[in-house]
Structure 1
Amino acid sequence: MQEFVMVARQLWLRRNSFIYKNIFLPPNCLLRETSLKLQLLKEEKDKNQIQKKGQQTQNSAEAWQSPPANWFKVNWDGAVDKAKCLIGIGVVVRDEKGQIIATMRHKKMQLPDPLLTESYGALIAVRFAKDLGLTQIELEGDSLLVTKALQEENEAWSSTSMFICETRTWLKTFAMWRVSHVRRNGNNIAHLLAKGSLSISDDFNVTMEDIPQCISPLVQ
């Protein structure tokens, strides 16, 4: 029934695009888009079911905690602007003393789905850590579904699996690594960076010494 409703809606939107915007979408494009949206709906439903059960990853925490000595913690988060089909990624890297080593803000035109954005954000965060030359990292985010997927080796065919698999591949290039989950309160700096990334002028903005204005109230 859900598939029928989705196809009917896509047909209606396709008709309106042709009549009012003179844009013709081939039937195969319509079917691909419908399939993707159904998959995203299923993933979001699975995500909500997991959260309702109160499941936590092994390293879940209420607040941000320092990594072990000689390690770096890489926190990431994602934000979406559905009106502009735009996503934003925020990444902050801190040392064992809690000092900010680097930050990154990144925006990209992409399907503004929260789960897809979080998966893509994890990949961007790991690549950023690699570019910084780090060798021992703890990757931490507030998406329970994504952190659990990264901790497990199970393969799945979904819109997010490509990013998850590639992130795992990058993680294995570090000397030591681990993935942990934290509640939103412990990920607020990455969250503000992600929201701020939606309005940056360039696609990427990296800071190594300066603190972005959007997070300055949280940094002592």
Structure 2
Amino acid sequence: MTVFETARPDPIRIMLVDDQALLRVGFRMVLEAEDDLRVVAEASDGAQAIALAASVCPQVILMDVRMPGLDGIEATRQIMAAQPNTRIIILTTFDLDEYAFGGLRAGASGFLLKNAEPGELITAIRTVVSGEASVSPRVTRRLLDLFGTQLPQVDAPDAGTGTALAALTDRETEVFLAIAEGLSNTELAERFFLSESTVKTHVGRILHKLGLRDRVQAVILAYEQGLVGR
């Protein structure tokens, strides 16, 4: 019998950003115990994070928000502007936190509590790399309800946003607005009497037409465009 070794995919490249060295050590130990994860850089503040992200090009950044100097929200905004394919997960102390929401509006793909279980951390990283958000639209909607009117407005939407919204079909518009309510794929299927596979097709087309990375961005766009209540 002959056994051929299969090539393993390259590990996911991760950067840790937190001003607490002990926390970075803990995260590194958890992550590097996994064959498909590798920590390639660490930073202790937002300015360091921006410089390192440009030089090492991590796929995923675990980003603290409360740091001296440049905070994690502004660092997230600048990194996403320069490297839009990077996935950022905000690290926060509280579940429903204005800093977590600020990070999502700045372009993060999700947030995690700092005391999350190791399995949650690992799953979140793999989830955002796969192209999904690690926080549900429903949680995003709750954050909007709690903090949306308390935070400064983000930059004005691109001039093409209105045109892109107008390009949605009637059904896609219905699905888009339902996503903005925080409905899951199962709930969308039930509301519109569709199969979940058809719902996924609609969601994929909506995100593509609007130039969005994930459903969380769809919720935030609908809010910023005034399509859901402030």
The interval holding the TM-score normalised by the smaller chain is: under 0.3
The structure showing larger relative contact order (alpha-carbon pairs under 8 Å, at least 6 residues apart) is: 1
Q: TM-score of the superposition, structure 1-length normalised?
A: 0.25
Which has more strand, going by share of residues?
A: 1
